[in-house]
Amino acid sequence: VRTNLGTDWHARALGALTNSKTGTGTTAPTATTITLDDATAPGSTSAWNGQLITCGAVFGVIVSNTNATPPVVTVDRWYDPTTPGGAAGTTPAAGRYQILAGMAPAQWMAITTDATAAAATDTTLGTEETTNGLGRAYATYAHTTSAASYTLTKAFTYTGSASKVLAKIGVFNASAGGIMTFESVLNATSTVNASGDVTTVTETVTL
Amino acid sequence: VIHVYLGNPAPVEGVVDPSADELTLVALDVPGGAVTTVDIAHDDLFAAVAEVRDLWRYHSSGPPTWVASDHDGLAAVLASGFGCPAIDIDAGVAEVVAANDRASTAAGDAMEGTPGDVRDLGDLR
């Protein structure tokens, strides 16, 4: 199911070269925030939700902002562009920033034991797994030339010991929080029983 | 990021029936075959192999004809598993361009009319 927020995300990702912003910060960013020192209050606390912001050699996915002067933008984390699915990148120094037009790609896959039917109105994944190798992870992207679909695939390697019956996944555009663009019940549940068990999930997205 | 390219002789694409929310895989007619591109953003090769093998069935109804990657070890493992040759990464990238050209040509051949035709498209307002 493409969620309602996912539909909005898709439209803005493909068609909106707007809402970008650039400037220079003087306040040192933290691991998840950056202050737009030369900007005024943007008018809402979701002015740039889902967009990318760059600073120095790293980028982040914006998950919220304060509606104040100057606005403080919260990102999910800082990314090293060479290893977006790896560890968080280094927190940048204060300096030039740029909020990019368009939206951050939705490539993070989360999984849950919740088997409730997926709904377009859902905005979060109920009882999302966060530990033992089942936490939200950067999925592998694949596309075939001329095909009107692509896939996101993740092999989750379980490191826990309690049996879990995995039933549904959500696709997000951030490593934490962010926009849930797609939600799908697995075509068959997958049970992990012991550390080392691997379950591989492929989500097909139609264009 | 690890890049993998696979020669795809029998490409398929996903189509969803909105009334049932069910995925159907439909064959694509691409003379000469297509190429499937895979971007892997982690360095767990065990997981990478599992992921490529799992995703392949959603992209093709037949085995790949070749595999190329900027990670030689992964290319070798995938080629062995799929029973196809591993080719040079530059050759794989060139195949992506060639496959797109073939698909564009096929799409052009399928269009009605000839270049220069002016057709009445009616009132588009």
pLDDT tens digits along B18-70: 777 788 899 998 888 999 999 999 889 999 999 999 999 999 999 999 999 99
Distance (Å) from the C-alpha of residue B95 to the closest C-alpha of chain A? 10
Q: What pLDDT, on a 0 to 100 scale, did the predictor assign at position B100?
A: 86
B69 part of contact set with chain A, CB < 8 Å: no
**Residues from chain B contacting residue A83 (CB–CB below 8 Å):** 1, 41
Q: Which of B84, B75, B66 lies closest to B45 in space, CA to CA?
A: B75
pLDDT tens digits along A24-72: 999 999 999 999 999 999 999 999 999 999 999 999 999 999 999 999 9
pLDDT tens digits along A152-195: 999 999 999 999 999 999 999 999 999 999 999 999 999 999 99
Predicted TM-score of the model (pTM) = 0.89
pLDDT tens digits along B74-118: 999 999 999 999 999 998 888 888 888 877 776 666 555 445 444
**Residues from chain A contacting residue B28 (CB–CB below 8 Å):** 144, 146-147
Note whether B47 contacts A198, CB cutoff 8 Å. Answer: yes
Query: B18 preceded by cis ω (within 30°)?
Result: no
Note whether B51 contacts A200, CB cutoff 8 Å. Answer: yes
Q: Tell me, what DSSP letter sits at residue A2?
A: B
Note whether B1 contacts A84, CB cutoff 8 Å. Answer: yes
CB A48 within 8 A of CB A21: yes
Q: Tell me, what DSSP letter sits at residue A147?
A: -
How far is Cα A18 from Cα A9, in angstroms, rounded to an integer? 13
ipTM for this prediction: 0.89
In chain B, which residue's Cα lies nearest the Cα of A156?
A: B47
Sheet of A21-24, strands arranged across: A21-24, A96-99, A52-55, A58-65, A72-79, A33-35
CB A152 within 8 A of CB A107: yes
Chosen for mutation from B28, B51, B100 (greatest number of chain A CBs closer than 10 Å) is B51
Q: What pLDDT, on a 0 to 100 scale, did the predictor assign at position B119?
A: 47
pLDDT tens digits along A74-121: 999 999 998 888 899 999 999 999 999 999 999 999 999 999 999 999
**Residues from chain A contacting residue B27 (CB–CB below 8 Å):** none
